[in-house]
Amino acid sequence: MSSIKSPSAETLKALETVPNMYLILSPDLYILTASDLYLQATETKREAITGKHIFDAFPADPNFPDADGVKNINASLQEVLRTKKPHHMPIQRYDVPDRNHEGEFITRYWDPSHTPVLDDQGDILYIIQLAINITDKVLADMDLEKAKLAHEKTRDSLKSINNELIERTYSERHFRHLADLVPAKISNALPTGEVTFFNKLWLDYSGLNFEDLRDFGYHNMVHPDEIEDFQKGLTEAAANGRPYESEMRFKNTDGEYRWHLNIVSPILDEDGQIAMWVGSTTDIQRMKEEEQRKNDFIGMVSHELKTPLTSLSAYLQVLNSKLSQPDESFEKTAVRQAIKQTGKMTTMINGFLNLSRLEATDTHINKEEFNICKLLRDTVEDMSLITNTHRITLQPCDSKIISGDQEKIGYVLNNLISNACKYSQVGTEVNLSCEVGTNQVTVSITDEGMGIKEEEVSHLFERYYRVENSNTISGFGIGLYLCAEILKRHQGKIWVESEYGKGSTFYFSLPVA
């Protein structure tokens, strides 16, 4: 300890009992004494600190490497030593050693100030450190601050829950109102399939209340012929997250089945998971009846046109065989052209006849067992005989007996080969192949023609659909539709891969046995 001037023993004694928290330091910062209240606040004894350097008696808390109490107190003391003027510090955290637990510290917050006491010559005799222990207040303030923050957080989340609730209630009400306004039957279901809502039109159509319609009404109303496809479609929609669209019949209160366009659409959340299902079911009975009338009309017209056309063709054939003119004579050429044109007309009329027959409700698929490879070979042979514009070839293929309507599958093949020729340059090749798998056979027809744009592909198999620039080539856009319908009725599939400007490959597959 320093031997520089020090206060008298009486002064120190007097300071010890002052009812405040004082530490008396020598000018070289050794502890001369401390007031009783200071000792209490720092939980120490006078003899444990007297004679020690302030920072030996009160070292920094090693548990808080960032604590700057020592540094700040020292800076304040140096300021006092330099200026010989009192210095008041801002609130300091300065933990004190826990005398009962070796190495541990007790949290303390202080309001410290340093006041120098000068002797007659104006030199510092000692420094009084007044350190008011405000730990309780600071901790209480901190708790208050924490409580305030927690309160604000709770209030904010309550507010957002409330807003969400208002929004949900509003949008739910809005949705229900809208669902009752649209001229369609609307329903809502959970991802599990449990229906949560039927709009008014559904309830009116079924004559049931919500619970009855939900629990046993809906499936009873679906026409038995459509239940299986409907369930399959729903399973697929659930697996790929895409809407399922189908035409199906629902029974009304009079027990009458009416055609509807049924769209079941999954609504996905941000993670791409199904959040709910929305169903829209529109009555298309009138449209269907209208369509049927149109089909019947087309069927009737085609039928009526076919009769005179068949006799016309027959007369032309006879005339051709009876004409004794040389081959290159005008008469011979004209009759040949007339035969060719009647042939074209017959093909077109047959297309319409097939369409109306296929769409008639009593259409039957006459299943029989036949060798698909033989059918391919025969068709290629027949088509090659009447086609001198393209080379029609067939890759070697294994014999395979399948069950189906041979005539209709033959129509599909004819149609795809005719199209391949129709939509490609004269002199190019049309190549067929057949791949026999365990469960299915896949037939492909590849051409080197104009190809199809990607955006057109999904429409090709629709009724009356024609690609825009194919208008110069005759046709009605029913061939591919008929092929797709025939294959559908065989539980088969048709699809196309095409490169615009380069060519296309049409595929169809049929189940084996």
Residues that bind ligand ADP (CB under 6 A): 419-420, 423, 447, 449-450, 452, 460, 465-467, 470, 475-481, 504
- In angstroms, give the least distance from the CB of 442 to ligand ADP: 17
Three-state secondary structure string covering 56-109: HHCCCCCCCCCCCHHHHHHHHHHHHHHHCCCEECCCEECCEECCCCCCCEECCE
- In angstroms, give the least distance from the CB of 226 to ligand ADP: 26
Pairing outcome for strands 429-436 and 391-394: parallel
Per-residue DSSP letter, 209? -
Smaller CB separation from ligand ADP, 24 or 452:
452
- In angstroms, give the least distance from the CB of 346 to ligand ADP: 14
Smaller CB separation from ligand ADP, 434 or 483:
483
Q: What's the rounded Cα separation, in Å, for the pair 439 and 403?
A: 12
Number of residues that make up the chain: 513
Q: What's the rounded Cα separation, in Å, for the pair 280 and 244?
A: 11
- In angstroms, give the least distance from the CB of 439 to ligand ADP: 27
Distance of CA 340 to the CA centre of its chain: 55
Residue nearest to ligand ADP (CB): 475
- In angstroms, give the least distance from the CB of 403 to ligand ADP: 26
Q: What's the rounded Cα separation, in Å, for the pair 395 and 510?
A: 18
Smaller CB separation from ligand ADP, 189 or 349:
349
Q: How is residue 359 written in tokens? A: 């769409």
Smaller CB separation from ligand ADP, 89 or 420:
420
- In angstroms, give the least distance from the CB of 497 to ligand ADP: 11
| Partner residues linked to 444 by β-bridges | 433, 507
Three-state secondary structure string covering 214-226: HHHHHHHHECHHH
Smaller CB separation from ligand ADP, 84 or 463:
463
Smaller CB separation from ligand ADP, 34 or 452:
452
Q: What's the rounded Cα separation, in Å, for the pair 198 and 176?
A: 9
Smaller CB separation from ligand ADP, 156 or 462:
462
- In angstroms, give the least distance from the CB of 248 to ligand ADP: 25
